[in-house]
Chain A
Amino acid sequence: MAKFEPVLFARINKPDSTSLTTYKADGGYARIKEFLSMAPGDVTNLVKDSGLRGRGGAGFPCGLKWTFLPKDHPGPIYLCINADESEPGTFNNRILMEKDPHQLIEGIIIACHAIRSRNAYLYLRYEYGRSYRVLDAAIKECYAAGLLGKNILGSGVNLDIVLHRGAGAYICGEETGLIESLEGKRAWPRIKPPFPAIEGLFRQPTIVNNVETLCCVTQILYRGGAWFKSIGVPPDPSNPRDPGSYGPKLYCISGHVNKPCCVELPLGATARELIEEHAGGVWKGRKAKAVVPGGISMGFLSDKELDTKLDFAGPGKVGCLGLGTAAVVVIDDQTSMVDVLFNCCRFMSHESCGQCTPCREGTAWMTKILTRIRIGQGRIEDLDLLMEVAGSMGIMPGTTICGLSDGAAWPVKNAISKFRGDFEEYIISKRATETSAQKLMEVH
């Protein structure tokens, strides 16, 4: 197989890649006038036919989402760009924003034209200070060059981009949490329906797209839907509901590897391929014990499942929640899964917004149980309790307003079902060392 030429990452290593001049020199904004003269519906159809699925985690078909907007809506329509990239292990949007902001802005202009939006809000994670500075400069450059603002390049299309910095909450990456936060409220995800496409930001129809998705939109417009569809994994014929996983994807590889990195590959790379070929193998000559396929809320792959194709359908076939953000975190065989899981649960309980009962109490409870196990007061039956708590928090039967609860429960379910031996051994060996109730109180 020929080596895949990066598309989204084509420019990131070039000198001065963030400036408008170099972006234009590389062919950027060359056809933007042509795109803006297309009928919005045609742009939407082009994206829809390309099979682009959202890169933010859920993998919802992007073009289809755009078609959910009400026709002939008299009021404004908004585009929110979700750059609140906070899933642990994920850093692909950061590179896109820091190294090639104009690719994103061009995608925003095209998407806004397609959905007839005149206002785009870029919700940027607070911690991304550099992204903020780069994007801010890039947006200013665009205004100066007439690429943003009123009557873009004489096409009659208006567009304003507002760059908004979050305040550091994971839940603001949930689309309705993001909308609430933009409105200046507590980022409590909204109940659906109505979905944002019907009633979103400021009670108007709103589309929320991920940064990488919009960068893909730029490439689809320049290279065509057929090009996009030639990359990736076609739908599984045995599953009529699988729309396929097309296009390039940015895989972030981190954790216990020699060379943590973010690479662009066609969808469907395996975890083993990513670790061995791109991340320089597991560090210190060790082996991988577990691999997170796409951010910790997606669960774990065991060492036997490393050949799973990381496309939208692949991780689900081995019990994970999904592809998520394709952030691969490698855990070596010297690491205890109890510690890994504790870290996941601590993160989720810290980030739970506290709206729905199962998530608010369940995440904290699981953290408390794991804390107790870690100080040597665990019992084997705690594992069943953890499974039960995770079961009543996760997708079935308990449903919550947003997906955080599912995402918090999934690593627990995966870790205990796939690495139960690890947990039992840990509990028994730790219990030998005596700990007092006082210590338990101190930990909490």
Chain B
Amino acid sequence: MATVLVNGQEVEIGASERLNCIQAAAKVGVEIPAYCWHPELSVVASCRMCLVEVGDKKPDGTVAMQPKLVPGCQTPAKDGTVIISDSPKVKEARKATLEYLLLNHPLDCPTCDQAGECYLQDYSFNYGRGYSRLNEPKNIKPDKTNIGDQITLFTDRCIMCTRCVRFTREISGSAELQVVSRGSHEEIDIFPGFPVNNPLAGNVVDLCPVGALCSKDFLYQQRVWWLKSASSVCPGCSTGCSITVDQNEERVYRLHPRPNEKAQGHFMCDAGRFGWKYTHSDQRLMSPETRTNGHVTPTDFDTVLNSVRAALIKAAQGGKGKIAAVLSPWMTVEEAYLLSSFLKGLATDVTLAIGPVRIEGHDDQFPKDIKGNVVAPVKFTIRAEKCPNRAGVEAVVTHFTGEVMPFEELLRLASGSQFKAVYLVGGDPEGWMTDIQAEAFSKVETVIVQDILPSPVLKHATHVLPSGTFVEREGVFVNHNGLAQLIHRSVRGPDGTRPDGRLLWDLAQRPGLIQTEALRKEIAGAIPALAAIASPELKGQGVLLEAAVAATV
């Protein structure tokens, strides 16, 4: 246990913690401004924004301060370290550094995407001076729009913190970005013909503390202060990156990673970052339907749900093992539980399968060297399993039926006219069923399809239930590691769709509106493997399901 003094306040640092002065000060809420320092990247101490006074408290109580200001990012906080970040000397140094940084900055905040979440703005407001004393023309540097397919560089806004350069060298390993020229003429640039198009490229936009690197996708779409944020989980793969969804007026504008050491760290991949577009696709299923012999009847949810319920009850009474359901690995734990418990209530011998778990290639690990070989230690992994909640849904299904029937097995049984009614849940935006697989359901009497986008199985469907995407729902995803995290509704789905939870709640004829929190308590009580999801910790960085870890390993 070490004690550090930050502006007179005592901070306790654990024995295993290796913190620098910035991190130690943050523990008691003291902000030491910094541009170049980032917890996941190497320390370069070049922006000189985090200069603080540092000293040592001797055992006899005297304090010996170092005469110079030192960069907080580079100075380890050890037992007895004294950090002073609010002295006039420190304030003067910050003011000077900020003035330097703004000398050649174009101050084009009104047209800059970063305005509102810009560290130059924030720190200038907090620590800077109100005017510039530069009387000479500013350096003018050309914009570089060709720097990557998804990113663009406003060179003159850059403050040369080199976070982006270090990211491409240390995390993605692709090293596309570099510093060219010298002194005040230096710029971030790529080698001609080698743009930043690695699978993690979008992170450099988040890393950029100013508006230099911008996302082409988000550029000029919204002012950031219009955006409302909700914490969520990326459904793109089983890594389950913690993310923030930014939306305005029921429209998603961007996703960005939310730091979570338990999940992915600080970053996310581009596939996930730009993988929300289907939410606003005009292909979405937008009307509940009943279909008989290819004849489509648009209807409303109450009618269709009653019809679904009646069909399922009829099938259940029609003999043993006549009902089956395919649960999607894109469902939340709550939705899987609602559907499973409802069907189990109708027929104890219900067959539950998990829809195809899409596996694409192999786990993609970073950093990579120039030949594409992974370099240890691995800092980021894009997993081959392209769904967010296989582990969670499996835990629910295992609880109800003891085993999880493989999807292929269910297809075989369905094509053998085993079932009278099948409840299919989709949700995978990439398409989860082939035409041949869909044929298996041609002989089933009642085929209920709950999905977001059209799929081949629709042509055999008797009931169609348009459901919601991950930004329209609420619930728990369990990632590859057994980490349960919450997703939150950030936008309302289009008219004619219902979030899956609400749909299933109504189908099960539970009273009132869906109460996910109460439902989680119920699940935690019913399924020991998922007991942890009722814990209050779930709301922050998520909880690890010990049992789930054991089950998936």
Contact = CB atoms under 8 A, between A and B. Distances in A.
B56 to A, nearest CB: 15
Central interface residue in A355, A357, A368, by most chain B CB within 10 Å: A357
B51 A399 contact: yes
B182 A350 contact: yes
Contacts of B444: none
Contacts of B93: 392, 397-398
Contacts of B47: 356-357
B89 A357 contact: no
Interface string B182-195: 11111000000000
B182 to A, nearest CB: 5
B183 A360 contact: yes
B104 to A, nearest CB: 7
Contact of B184 (A169, A352, A400, A440): A352
Nearest to B90: A397
Contacts of A362: 100
A1 interface: no
B124 to A, nearest CB: 14
Interface residues of B, number: 39
Given A351-B183, A360-B186, A401 B133 contact: no
Nearest to B182: A354
A398 B48 contact: yes
Nearest to B186: A354
Nearest to B98: A357
A303 interface: no
Nearest to A348: B183
A191 B70 contact: no
A396 interface: yes
A357 B46 contact: yes
A444 interface: yes
B51 A355 contact: no
A293 B101 CA distance: 33
B179 to A, nearest CB: 6
B521 to A, nearest CB: 52
A398 B178 CA distance: 26
A2 interface: no
Nearest to B104: A361
B184 A364 contact: yes
A93 interface: no
A397 B160 contact: no
A399 B68 contact: yes
A354 B101 CA distance: 12
A395 interface: yes
B300 interface: no
Given A352-B183, A399-B68, A358 B100 contact: yes
A186 interface: yes
A399 B68 CA distance: 7
B45 A401 contact: yes
Contacts of A363: 183-184
B136 interface: yes
B136 A354 contact: no
A349 interface: yes
Contacts of B48: 356-358, 398-400
Nearest to A385: B133
A310 interface: no
A385 B100 CA distance: 13
Q: Size range of the interface on A?
A: 35 or more
Nearest to B74: A191
B136 A372 contact: yes
B135 interface: yes
A126 interface: no
B137 A441 contact: yes
A371 interface: yes
B184 A191 contact: no
B134 interface: yes
A356 B46 contact: yes
A340 interface: no
Nearest to A399: B68
Contacts of B139: 364
B103 A361 contact: yes
A137 interface: no
B137 A440 contact: yes
A353 interface: yes
A392 B92 contact: yes
Nearest to A350: B183
Interface in B123-162: 133-137, 139, 159-160
Nearest to B89: A397
Contacts of B133: 385
Given A361-B100, A440-B136, A354 B51 contact: no
A392 B69 CA distance: 11
Given A349-B183, A397-B92, A398-B51, A361 B101 contact: yes
B198 interface: no
A68 interface: no
Nearest to A171: B182
B46 A398 contact: no
Central interface residue in A351, A358, A369, A371, by most chain B CB within 10 Å: A358
Contact of A351 (B45, B67, B103, B182): B182
A143 B23 CA distance: 54
The 6 residue pairs across chains A and B that have the minimum distance between CB atoms: A364-B184, A392-B96, A361-B100, A368-B136, A352-B183, A354-B186
10 contacts: A191-B74, A354-B184, A357-B47, A358-B100, A360-B160, A363-B184, A368-B134, A392-B96, A399-B69, A440-B136
Given A358-B96, A392-B97, 8 more contacts: A349-B183, A352-B184, A356-B47, A361-B101, A364-B139, A365-B103, A392-B93, A392-B96
